[in-house]
Structure 1
Amino acid sequence: MTKIKRNAALLAASAVVMGLTTPFAAATTSASPEFSPALALGAAPMAPEPPLDWVECEGQGLDPRQECATVEVPMDYAAPHGRKITLALSRIPAENHRKRRGVLLMIPGGPGGGSLDAPSGKGQKLPQDVRDTYDLIGFDPRGYGRSTPVSCELEKSDLALTKLRPWPAPDGSVTGNMATARRMADACARNGGELIRHISTANEARDLDRIRAALGERKISAWGVSYGTYVGAVYNQLFPHRTDRVVLDSNDDPDPTRVARGWLAMYETGVEDNFPEFATWASTPGNPDRVAATAAEVRPLFLRLAARLDREPIPWPGANPEELNGNVLRQTMLDTLYDPDRYPTLARMIQAARKGTVPPVPQGPPDSVLQNSIAAGAAICNDVAWPRSAAVYERGVAESRAEYPLTAGLPRSAMICAAWPDAPKEPAVRITDRGPSNVLLIQNRRDVATPLSGALKLRAALGRRAVMVTVDSTGHGAYLANGNACGDRTASRFLATGERPAGDVTCD
């Protein structure tokens, strides 16, 4: 029996590249707020799915109980009898069969990330009563990892985070960004095949319903994180009566006119919400990585150092790019603010650069993993059309740089989507308040990638369908991650028992 192999390095790339909430023709349906089989495309009654062939998973550090399987789904839901692609699934069965309620689908962030190993990883952080209640289900989305993969075969220089995230030139110019966008988009069109054109959030939601059917479940519960909150919200919009208990953690603004373009813009407020926390930490007496005597000094110090590195980059052999410049420092700042545990990384880079030296070269995932993750993140371009005019981005960058100097225009600059060759195949799904009241949102007050201001827009869109738990914590990821015990208890209680706060609450 063939075993499904797992490259653990894939996990390290899941939120690093095109995924913003960490850096492509035939459907003609509209984004009606009402569920219908026509909208779901492929959701109409089907013949019973054959039983899944569960086998031992290969990989390091996996729980021995985790098992793996595959399921076939249409590449194009508008042509459901055409070419099929494979999705890789995993599960750890519920630990108490007498208490088993169903399955908990662990929806990954990204786009361009997977959760195939999540039942063995963060799934084991779930409290016992939740693990007793559900089979924990992980999966790799279409195009990613052990599912049918895609790759754009980009040039190595374009795998640098400062290219994948569209940092403008030091003077604010987007000329280089537009050239990079054209080069990358051409490579994806040339090398990504037909599948890359069918990677979208709506299609991932349809895939989830095929997974539900393959598991033999009438309904599924879900825990979506970061981009997974948008996937979970879209699934609950398209298939409202096939959801049981839904926890959405670190929530994206669901604006259907902007989608990922809006998420990129959210870095402006996300950084402003979070940088003061770093500044306080980086000026604490006794901190071996202290960079300033007071918190008020850290921001101007950072801005001066970034400007100096713009003018006088420091050679950095072995890195990509092979210099420590202003945008590398800014990108490190952005990555660091995802988790307070990462603060030393930025502090040590600041200390090194002030001395004219560089820190050790960071160890990232292999290039092949990055190539796959970038291409599998194509939903950011396929969900909604981005402006194609450099002038639009130039105006936005100038405004952003003036108001939000820490992010230097990045949130309104031109990504690969500015040159994407294909228009979206269908409108983005509009999230509404129509459907069952079975959603719990959990959200840190300070989150660089999915700020509270954006999460409140998802809360407003869902209306009576949801309640929101706001956690007075810092970092990207609230439930069982960077949140607090109050938030964790509230989400766990809902998953285990269905008990949900009567209204929105705050966990201090």
Structure 2
Amino acid sequence: MPSPALYGALTALLFTTVPLSPSLSPSSPSTPSSPSSFDAPQAEARGTVLAARRAAAEGIDFGVCPAAEKLPPSVVCGTVRVPLDYADPGGDRIPLTVSRVRASGPATGRQGALVFNPGGPGASSTYFPLAAELPEWRRISAAYDLVGYAPRGVGRSAPVSCQDPADRVTGPTPAPTLPSEVYKRERIARAKAYAEGCARRTGAALRHYHSLNNARDLEILRAALGEPRLTYLGASYGTYVGGLYATLFPHRVRRMVLDAPVDPTPGRIWYHNNLAQSEAFERRWADFRTWVAKHDAVYGLGGTAREVAASYERVRAELAARPAGGRVGPGQLHGAMLGTGYDDRLWPLRAAALSAYLKGDPAPLVAQAAPSQDPGPDAGNGRAVYTAVECNDAPWPEEFAVWDRDNTRLAERAPFETWDNAWMNLPCAYWKAPRQRPLDVRTGPGVLPPVLILAAERDAATPYAGALELQRRLAGAALVTERDAGTHGVAGGPNTCVNGHLERYLLTGAVPGDVTGPEMTPVRRASCAPHPEPDPVSLERRATKTPAV
């Protein structure tokens, strides 16, 4: 998902200024129209070089942004065209939407373009140029053009579709933590139908929506922007794209910030990373309940984490019997509460909604949890891209018995997110497109300039172990840790220490100095104290707007 620290701030700003997630080779037999699996990596490498040369010659014609982007006149937009299949660079090309704000400082101090990928998979960063208006980004935006884009499949960038928007669920749904055999069979059927819908609605192009192509697209975007080397900020899944880019194109990296890193170990992409995420969410859910209990005088949900959990289960049971507003059942409640694992700014709002519901007022909960009644033409696009990329990226277990065994065991100690996460990813068990073999993200000493990694120690969406692994794999990388904090994505957020490291690196290239690691080897690391916990918000003073997640 997008980095809450930046995305929430920019969403708030947007709503005040405009109306209103070694080479690869296919695992399936080759076809006569494409290179063999043995030749594909070489063909794709050649295709990327040719496509980058073409993009450098064509550039990007920036102008007024389409109304669909909902951006103010200060932001301009353009299109870069990339090969659908890099093994066939002269074949079909697809458009990627690009947005930009020019550096605000003097030309003598300009350092180029800073490109942002917010993660997902399935998220767009076309809003990123709005960061120029935020105090935390003023010095950075004086030195850099801020560039956002919609990756392949997202928004207007050759969108992926897996179901008709009208087929999306808008009514109340269950969210059992102990699913019955009947419910499992129902979810298997839904997963098969969704996977079949992706294959049917996107067609033969579906196989080309994967992370390696996202990294190649980044190289084409760099060339089209006229930048000799790439300065990049990737958040969450965007760190995996950045790691792939650094491995494939190390000579093209100028500076790279990887915020809230995914564990890039090939064997963890993506099935085992999702299991680790579910376990980490249990810890973060406990952090939220502990915080609510500390403020029992405000919320009245219980003076201990266990009592808060009991209050939550009471809300779940009542919604199962009588959905709030006819639209919020246990499934919608659970979806809203998952946000507490991503961003602690949501804690007061979610706690206030639970409190109000138990006092007879369901309106705050409905406002925060109900699905949109008018989702628009792009409804479901983010999930479709997420599914296509993750399913295409790597092998997945193809027998439900494996999923059932692993998630049943995990749910015994981590029930909060486990089954919800499993159902989200289950279409990958029945995927029709060819699978990739994950790239071994890795660089040797002296190959890259120092990369800056940022991580929160209690991040649930991308557990902290991934940051340590990524630092080991990118020789010379520096790691800045926000201790005892868990907001997913910390760049440009409320921690001035983290932001100081970010700004210093982007403006000067400097990273934290060496400290002695556990094996008595020097490693580049620094730590920051946690940002303050959110203030409790009484029901009388609660905010009228909810940060985006």
Fold conserved (TM > 0.5)?
yes
Task: Describe the shift of the 1:218–1:167 C-alpha distance in structure 2 as closer, same or farther (beyond 3 A).
Answer: farther
Task: Describe the shift of the 1:350–1:129 C-alpha distance in structure 2 as closer, same or farther (beyond 3 A).
Answer: closer
Return the offset for 1:85. Answer: 0.7
Q: Which residue of 1 aligns with 2:223?
A: 213
Asked if 2 retains the 8 angstrom alpha-carbon contact of 1:154 and 1:184, the reply is: no
Return the offset for 1:350. Answer: 3.5
Task: Describe the shift of the 1:286–1:449 C-alpha distance in structure 2 as closer, same or farther (beyond 3 A).
Answer: same
1:178 maps onto 2:188 in alignment: yes
Task: Describe the shift of the 1:382–1:41 C-alpha distance in structure 2 as closer, same or farther (beyond 3 A).
Answer: farther
After TM superposition, the structure 1 = structure 2 runs for residues 82-121 of structure 1, keeping only pairs within 5 Å, are 82-95=91-104, 96-121=106-131
2:258 alignment partner, SS class: strand
1:76 alignment partner, SS class: coil
Q: Structure 1, residues 181-202: CA drift from partner, whole Å, max 9, x if none?
A: 1011111111113333211111
Amino acid corresponding to residue 499 of structure 1 in structure 2: A
1:288 maps onto 2:309 in alignment: no
Amino acid corresponding to residue 459 of structure 2 in structure 1: D
- In 2, Cα distance between equivalents of 1:236 and 1:277: 35
Amino acid corresponding to residue 366 of structure 2 in structure 1: P
Q: Which residue of 2 aligns with 1:5?
A: none
Return the offset for 1:372. Answer: 2.0
1:43 alignment partner, SS class: helix
Task: Describe the shift of the 1:157–1:399 C-alpha distance in structure 2 as closer, same or farther (beyond 3 A).
Answer: farther
Task: Describe the shift of the 1:330–1:406 C-alpha distance in structure 2 as closer, same or farther (beyond 3 A).
Answer: same
Q: Which residue of 2 aligns with 1:66?
A: 75
Q: Which residue of 2 aligns with 1:385?
A: 395
After TM superposition, the structure 1 = structure 2 runs for residues 76-225 of structure 1, keeping only pairs within 5 Å, are 76-95=85-104, 96-121=106-131, 124-154=134-164, 156=166, 158-159=168-169, 170-171=179-180, 174-225=184-235
Task: Describe the shift of the 1:303–1:122 C-alpha distance in structure 2 as closer, same or farther (beyond 3 A).
Answer: farther
2:440 alignment partner, SS class: coil
Match of 1:490 among 462, 486, 501: 501
1:212 alignment partner, SS class: helix
TM-score (structure 2 length as normaliser) = 0.78
Return the offset for 1:118. Answer: 1.0
Return the offset for 1:162. Answer: 9.7
Q: Which residue of 1 aligns with 2:456?
A: 444
Amino acid corresponding to residue 360 of structure 1 in structure 2: V
- In 1, Cα distance between equivalents of 2:171 and 2:91: 36
After TM superposition, the structure 1 = structure 2 runs for residues 299-314 of structure 1, keeping only pairs within 5 Å, are 299-302=309-312, 306=316, 308=317, 312-314=320-322
1:257 alignment partner, SS class: helix
Task: Describe the shift of the 1:180–1:61 C-alpha distance in structure 2 as closer, same or farther (beyond 3 A).
Answer: closer
After TM superposition, the structure 1 = structure 2 runs for residues 472-487 of structure 1, keeping only pairs within 5 Å, are 472=483, 473-481=485-493, 484-487=495-498
TM-score (structure 1 length as normaliser) = 0.84
Task: Describe the shift of the 1:363–1:398 C-alpha distance in structure 2 as closer, same or farther (beyond 3 A).
Answer: closer
- In 2, Cα distance between equivalents of 1:202 and 1:43: 11
Task: Describe the shift of the 1:61–1:124 C-alpha distance in structure 2 as closer, same or farther (beyond 3 A).
Answer: farther
Asked if 2 retains the 8 angstrom alpha-carbon contact of 1:261 and 1:386, the reply is: yes
Asked if 2 retains the 8 angstrom alpha-carbon contact of 1:221 and 1:246, the reply is: yes
Amino acid corresponding to residue 467 of structure 2 in structure 1: A
Task: Describe the shift of the 1:420–1:287 C-alpha distance in structure 2 as closer, same or farther (beyond 3 A).
Answer: farther
More helix by share: 2
Return the offset for 1:124. Answer: 4.1
1:446 alignment partner, SS class: coil
Q: Structure 1, residues 382-422: CA drift from partner, whole Å, max 9, x if none?
A: 10121121101110121011121333534455522111111
Asked if 1 retains the 8 angstrom alpha-carbon contact of 2:236 and 2:259, the reply is: yes
Amino acid corresponding to residue 43 of structure 1 in structure 2: T
Which stretch shows the higher mean deviation, 166-175 or 89-98? 166-175
Give the percent of matched residue pairs that are identical in Structure 1 and Structure 2.
32
1:71 alignment partner, SS class: strand
Amino acid corresponding to residue 487 of structure 2 in structure 1: G
- In 2, Cα distance between equivalents of 1:196 and 1:161: 29
Task: Describe the shift of the 1:74–1:167 C-alpha distance in structure 2 as closer, same or farther (beyond 3 A).
Answer: farther
Give the unaligned 5+ runs of structure 2.
1-10, 13-20, 514-523, 530-549
- In 2, Cα distance between equivalents of 1:41 and 1:355: 64
Task: Describe the shift of the 1:145–1:122 C-alpha distance in structure 2 as closer, same or farther (beyond 3 A).
Answer: farther
- In 2, Cα distance between equivalents of 1:288 and 1:328: 24
Task: Describe the shift of the 1:84–1:381 C-alpha distance in structure 2 as closer, same or farther (beyond 3 A).
Answer: same
Amino acid corresponding to residue 176 of structure 1 in structure 2: E
Task: Describe the shift of the 1:38–1:459 C-alpha distance in structure 2 as closer, same or farther (beyond 3 A).
Answer: farther
- In 2, Cα distance between equivalents of 1:118 and 1:357: 37
Asked if 2 retains the 8 angstrom alpha-carbon contact of 1:201 and 1:379, the reply is: yes
Amino acid corresponding to residue 224 of structure 2 in structure 1: A
1:505 maps onto 2:526 in alignment: yes
Task: Describe the shift of the 1:134–1:166 C-alpha distance in structure 2 as closer, same or farther (beyond 3 A).
Answer: farther
1:448 alignment partner, SS class: coil
Q: Which residue of 2 aligns with 1:315?
A: 323
Q: Structure 1, residues 296-317: CA drift from partner, whole Å, max 9, x if none?
A: 42235445654x469x432345
Asked if 1 retains the 8 angstrom alpha-carbon contact of 2:177 and 2:416, the reply is: no
Q: Structure 1, residues 210-242: CA drift from partner, whole Å, max 9, x if none?
A: 111111111010011111111111111111111
Q: Which residue of 2 aligns with 1:460?
A: 472
Task: Describe the shift of the 1:351–1:65 C-alpha distance in structure 2 as closer, same or farther (beyond 3 A).
Answer: closer
- In 2, Cα distance between equivalents of 1:174 and 1:421: 21
Task: Describe the shift of the 1:68–1:239 C-alpha distance in structure 2 as closer, same or farther (beyond 3 A).
Answer: same
Amino acid corresponding to residue 55 of structure 1 in structure 2: G
After TM superposition, the structure 1 = structure 2 runs for residues 319-338 of structure 1, keeping only pairs within 5 Å, are 319=327, 324-325=329-330, 327-338=331-342
Asked if 1 retains the 8 angstrom alpha-carbon contact of 2:258 and 2:453, the reply is: yes
The alignment of Structure 1 onto Structure 2 pairs a total of residues equal to 476
Amino acid corresponding to residue 507 of structure 1 in structure 2: C
Task: Describe the shift of the 1:87–1:287 C-alpha distance in structure 2 as closer, same or farther (beyond 3 A).
Answer: farther
Task: Describe the shift of the 1:167–1:79 C-alpha distance in structure 2 as closer, same or farther (beyond 3 A).
Answer: farther
Asked if 2 retains the 8 angstrom alpha-carbon contact of 1:338 and 1:475, the reply is: yes
Amino acid corresponding to residue 97 of structure 2 in structure 1: A
Q: Structure 1, residues 104-128: CA drift from partner, whole Å, max 9, x if none?
A: 1111211111111211247745533
Amino acid corresponding to residue 461 of structure 1 in structure 2: R
Q: Structure 1, residues 334-391: CA drift from partner, whole Å, max 9, x if none?
A: 1222111212443245346656874325354715322222222210111012112110
- In 2, Cα distance between equivalents of 1:240 and 1:28: 26
Return the offset for 1:318. Answer: 5.0
Asked if 2 retains the 8 angstrom alpha-carbon contact of 1:123 and 1:136, the reply is: no
